[in-house]
Amino acid sequence: METGAMALEGRRVLVVGLARSGRAAVDVLLGRGARVAVTDRRPAAVFGGLPGKLKKAGVELALGRHPEDRFLEADLIVVSPGVPRSLAPLQAARDAGVEIVSELELAASLFDGPLIAVTGTNGKSTTTTFIGHFLRAAGRRVFMGGNLGRPFCEALEGEHDVAVVEVSSFQLEWVGGFRPKVAVLLNVTEDHLDRYRDFEDYARTKGRLFAQQDGRDFAVVNRDDPVALELAEAGRAEQYLFGHGPSPAQGMYDDGESAWLVEGDGVHRVSLEGFRLRGRHNVENLMAAYLSAHLAGISCQRLDEVIPYLEGLPHRLELVAEVEGVRYYNDSKATNVRSVLCSLRDLTEPLVVLMGGKDKGGSFANLEPIVRRNVRALVLFGEARGRIREALGHLVETIEVETLADAVARARALARSGDSVVLSPACASFDQFESYEERGEVFKQLVWERKHVGNGGMPSGGDGVSK
């Protein structure tokens, strides 16, 4: 058994939620001799042939419901991140003393190697990817996943020297012994207020990243974010700070032209000349990743060589095309207000911004300064369009439509040569799409259709794949 691994042989383990992380947890549990049951609120029909395969493997299924007796009978419950902690049977099990963990903690207890965990309201995926690139370039066998895409449990299937895991607040709700060697907190701003009681509740959940660390571990923290700093101060790990402007603190800072690594009595200059991504937020992501890889044992010389090859992620201020002098950017991953601010503040040309989707409870009024600065028009779609209009509609020309296809058509009519059209929704995608990735792909397809038809018409009806 792995050092410090969770005992599973013969235990009755309930997996709550049968999305990808739940399925990965089931495989791990079966492979280690657990007696596995699964509940999911969705009916069996949505899972195709999976229920049949699980039954053949000996898994007990309760689909379309969450029967409380299954929760109370379990020795251990593994919760998928999409399952809210307020679920009544979960609360009943907790009150009865049943051990409850997240898929993240299950995997971490079984993973035999150092773990780098990255969280924050924004920038998690980019920073996690940068760290993975740094480590792979140095010859490390890296598992990269978590909230980024591959469940952490999948790391147990192969041979890896190190795991780099993007961690959401949802995944941190049920951790107790989770202890990363390097814990990265990028920022903490309003998000997911449809799930948490208030901002303080959300922030406290993020802070659980540091709870089990000690003086042998490292905390990489944004010194320009007071909430992040306060959360890290409550932990015991050695801190490495990053931020903008000169600082004597151990860590990194940038001066607009270079970044500087400060460690002990030494200072190392990191050239930003070859770094291709726009925006101060991407410099922050770079510094956090550089520090993390350095703390994992990679030399500065090797890290410096990799910087020019780092690229941005799909759906994050991704330039799709230029059509009739207008640039179209896919920023579908901007699912909260702070993320939109980070994207738009580095675009100086006139903007037509597409916003909307499923409201997550943040304050759209915080976007007022950036809208006043250089936004020509807002095109609002989806469930949240009315609330966004209340906050920002008095500032610039504002149009409400139903679908993303309608929004792209109206944006094309509004934009002039030299403008940029930016899909930067500030909302989740789940009112019309399965994910922000699907929303971004639909946007790109709509733009490419326009580019290919030249002066022809842009579709103005439904996009054909919205849900």
Catalytic-labelled residue, pool 66, 124, 315, 333? 124
Q: Classify residue 275 as exposed, middle or buried by CB count within 10 Å of its CB (0-12, 13-18, 19+).
A: middle
Catalytic-labelled residue, pool 66, 192, 281, 444? 192
| Edge-to-edge strands, sheet with 420-423 | 318-323, 326-330, 420-423, 351-356, 375-381, 397-400
What DSSP character marks residue 308?
G
- The 3-state DSSP class for residue 340 equals helix
* 358 is annotated as an active-site residue: no
Of 185, 28, 192, the C-alpha closest to 117 is: 185
Q: Give the number of other CB atoms < 10 A from CB of residue 325.
A: 10
Structure tokens at 79: 């919760």
How distant, in Å, are the alpha carbons of 125, 349, 374, 380, 415 from that of 377?
Answer: 29, 13, 9, 10, 9
Q: At what angle do helices 124-137 and 280-295 cross, to 10 degrees?
A: 40
Backbone conformation region of residue 318, classed left if phi is above 0, alpha if psi is from -120 to 50, else beta: beta
Asked whether the beta carbons of 262 and 252 are under 8 A apart, the reply is: yes
* Amino acid at site 379: V
Residues 6+ apart with CB under 8 A from 162: 113, 114, 115, 116, 135, 140, 141, 142, 143, 296
* 451 is annotated as an active-site residue: no
What is the Cβ-side half-sphere exposure of residue 7, based on CA atoms within 13 angstroms?
4
Asked whether the beta carbons of 213 and 207 are under 8 A apart, the reply is: no
Distance CA 272, CA 280 (A): 12
Asked whether the beta carbons of 89 and 71 are under 8 A apart, the reply is: yes
Distance CA 154, CA 24 (A): 6
List of long-range contacts for 67-73, beta carbons under 8 Å, 24+ apart? 67/39, 68/92, 70/14, 70/37, 70/39, 71/14, 71/16, 71/39, 71/98, 72/96, 72/98, 73/12, 73/14
Structure tokens at 425: 């929704």
Catalytic-labelled residue, pool 122, 133, 147, 181? 147
* 467 is annotated as an active-site residue: no
- 83 phi/psi in degrees, rounded to 5: -90, 120
Asked whether the beta carbons of 220 and 198 are under 8 A apart, the reply is: no
Give the residue numbers annotated as catalytic, written as ranges.
Answer: 124, 147, 192
